[in-house]
A and B are shown apart, each in its own frame.
Chain A
Amino acid sequence: MIDFLEKWSFFGGSILLILIGLYGVITRKNLIKIFIGLSLMDTGINVLLVSLGYVKGGFAPIITSTINNNSYNFVDPIPQALVLTSIVIGVAVLALGLGVIIKIYEKYNTLDISKIRGLKW
């Protein structure tokens, strides 16, 4: 049980978070809920990427006074650097989308996508 949890909790949890976000994006009708689903997917992908670079018993990739040379075991720093930029881009794109939502509300006076003309299916 513990072995299974150790092996799959991070991968399974982050994949489930991505899927929960995707389900929300598909089924919800409120535009703000859809964007919440997108940000959940974003977080899930970030956790998945960082956990792929984890080394058991590894140290954070910073040389400090106690971890004082590079023969220690470090975790993979490249996914961390990429996820760092991905988080910042995520919030900027989210703000752009929310700006579009404000404009849509000014025009149609609703956030329900089934009531906005041209977005029906």
Chain B
Amino acid sequence: MTLLYSFLILLMLISGIAALIFDKLVNSIISAGMVSLIAAFLFYFLRAPDVAMAEAAIGAGLSTAIFIITLYKTEGREN
């Protein structure tokens, strides 16, 4: 079980670093959503189902949508 946590946390850190170094903004936004999704799993393992639901619905769902809308309104419109 400990190895599973550690693996998930490692994956979360790698996604976080990837979100900052990707060149295309869409890839960064999806990586940031991935960080939130893994955080939702971690909250579930920490026996916090309420927080896990909130993080999955809001962090991984809504904030990714908000980022993509903003990207479209700014630089994405040119493409």
Asked if chains A and B are in direct contact (CB within 8 A), the reply is yes
B69 to chain A, nearest CB (A): 8
Assess whether B2 is in contact with A87, with CB atoms less than 8 Å apart: no
From the candidates A9, A24, A58, A111, name the one contacting B9 in the complex (CB within 8 A). Answer: A9
From the candidates A36, A60, A91, name the one contacting B19 in the complex (CB within 8 A). Answer: A36
* 1/0 contact string of B37-71 vs chain A (CB within 8 Å): 00100110011111100110011001100110111
Bound form: Cα–Cα A24–B71 in Å:
18
With A13-B9, A17-B13, A36-B20 known to touch, is A6 a contact of B47 (CB < 8 Å)? no
Residues of B within 8 A of A36 (CB): 19-20, 28-29, 32, 67
Residues of B within 8 A of A101 (CB): 70, 74
Cβ-based interface call for B6 (8 A) = yes
Bound form: Cα–Cα A101–B70 in Å:
8
Assess whether B20 is in contact with A37, with CB atoms less than 8 Å apart: yes
Bound form: Cα–Cα A62–B47 in Å:
10
From the candidates B9, B13, B69, B70, name the one contacting A10 in the complex (CB within 8 A). Answer: B9
Assess whether B46 is in contact with A10, with CB atoms less than 8 Å apart: yes
The secondary-structure label for the interface of chain B is helix
Residue of B with least CB distance to A7: B2
Bound form: Cα–Cα A40–B28 in Å:
12
With A54-B47, A75-B47, A94-B66 known to touch, is A84 a contact of B54 (CB < 8 Å)? yes
Bound form: Cα–Cα A23–B13 in Å:
13
Assess whether B5 is in contact with A17, with CB atoms less than 8 Å apart: no
Task: List 9 A-B residue pairs with CB atoms under 8 Å apart, sorted by A's residue number.
Answer: A5-B6, A9-B5, A13-B13, A32-B25, A36-B29, A43-B55, A47-B42, A54-B47, A102-B73
By a beta-carbon cutoff of 8 Å, the part of chain A in contact with chain B is 2, 5-6, 9-10, 13, 16-17, 20-21, 23-24, 28, 30, 32-33, 35-37, 39-40, 43, 46-47, 50-51, 54, 58-62, 75, 80, 83-84, 87-88, 90-91, 94-95, 98, 101-102, 105, 111
